[in-house]
Amino acid sequence: MEALYTIRLDGIYVRAFHGCYDLEQQVGNRFRVDMAIRTPLGDLPKNDDVTQAVNYLTVYEIVERTMQRTQRTIEAAAANIIEAVKQTFPQIVEVECTVAKIAPPLGGKIDKVSVTLIG
């Protein structure tokens, strides 16, 4: 197996309208997205050429754009992010994506609920 390197984007906060309840889809909530992107070590940018690298700004924009597509589950939101990132950067072999709903409406005090998908 080829050696990999990991790019992390932690703490991408967005306001979005995901939720199984209609009210959540109308009112919205805060979400946090954390990502680990794994790429073969052999795909490191040559001669420090940023055009050969996974562009962090592009990944950030993909997350923001994808999170604006309303879903019933945060699992679907995470799967959509993984798919979009891998389509944009074919050199990526694995994306780990955690989507957390901050202070979900569960009837009591809870900091967040989150899911992590790896694809």
pLDDT in tens, 17-66: 887 777 677 778 899 999 999 998 876 777 677 777 789 999 999 999 99
Task: Specify which residues 116 forms β-bridges with.
Answer: 98
Task: Specify which residues 115 forms β-bridges with.
Answer: 99
| CATH architecture classification, 4-118 | 2-Layer Sandwich (3.30)
Q: Comparing 82 with 53, which gets the higher pLDDT?
A: 82
| Verdict on whether the full-model pTM lies above 0.75 | yes
Q: How many CB atoms lie within 10 A of CB 116?
A: 13
Q: What is the pLDDT of residues 95-115, one digit of tens each?
A: 999 999 998 877 888 899 999
Q: Confidence class of residue 1 from pLDDT cuts 50, 70 and 90?
A: low
